[in-house]
Amino acid sequence: MKRCIILRGPAGSGKTTLSKELAKIYPLYHIELDILRKKIPREENEPKFSQEEKLRTNRILIPLVREKLKAGQKVIIDEVFYYKSQLNEIKKEFSKEIIIFNLTCPLELCLSRNRSRRSLGERKTTDEATKTIHFLVSQLKEGIKIDTSNKTIQETLKEIISNLEI
């Protein structure tokens, strides 16, 4: 199995849920980039979905992953990864140790899942942000495609795991 797993996809595609489940099955250190990014102040007047913000996050992510791999741990990262430059930095740094999964699902399902999470107070992703993220993520075809619509978490996990053990 590769030592660095990336689950990328739009908001509501199941990245965090699946990452947490995989971390229960395998000894994986889970990095949820949404949480990491919130610790990094945005530049004044910088748009929320900027490429610069994503690249700044990499400056924290890459050393963290390097540290975990050096300690013998395997990692799983969940993030939207809609800028090729952001993903390329990570691929360049960990080229032989990385496997990327591209989680997909229709926009309406992502909107529905995010509305449910908002109603539970779990997330604050607005419909507008969900639409923007879905559009941006859909433009970058990177990784093994896993369609998460009309599947249970267990069915999706099984599909991911079958690709991990190649």
Distance from chain centroid for Cα 35: 11
Contact at 8 Å (CB) between 116 and 161? no
Contact at 8 Å (CB) between 166 and 126? no
pTM summary value: 0.90
Q: Where are the domains of the chain?
A: 4-164
pLDDT at 123: 66
Local confidence pLDDT in tens for the 166 residues of the chain: 789 999 999 999 999 999 999 999 999 999 998 888 777 777 777 777 788 888 888 989 999 999 999 999 999 999 999 899 999 999 999 988 999 999 999 999 999 988 887 777 766 778 998 999 999 999 999 999 999 999 999 999 999 999 986 4
pLDDT at 61: 93
pLDDT at 126: 86
Contact at 8 Å (CB) between 164 and 99? yes
Selected from 3.20.20.140, 3.40.50.720, 3.40.50.300, 3.40.190.10, the CATH number assigned to the domain covering 4-164 reads 3.40.50.300
Provide DSSP, 73-111.
-EEEEEE----HHHHHHHHHHTGGGEEEEEEE--HHHHH
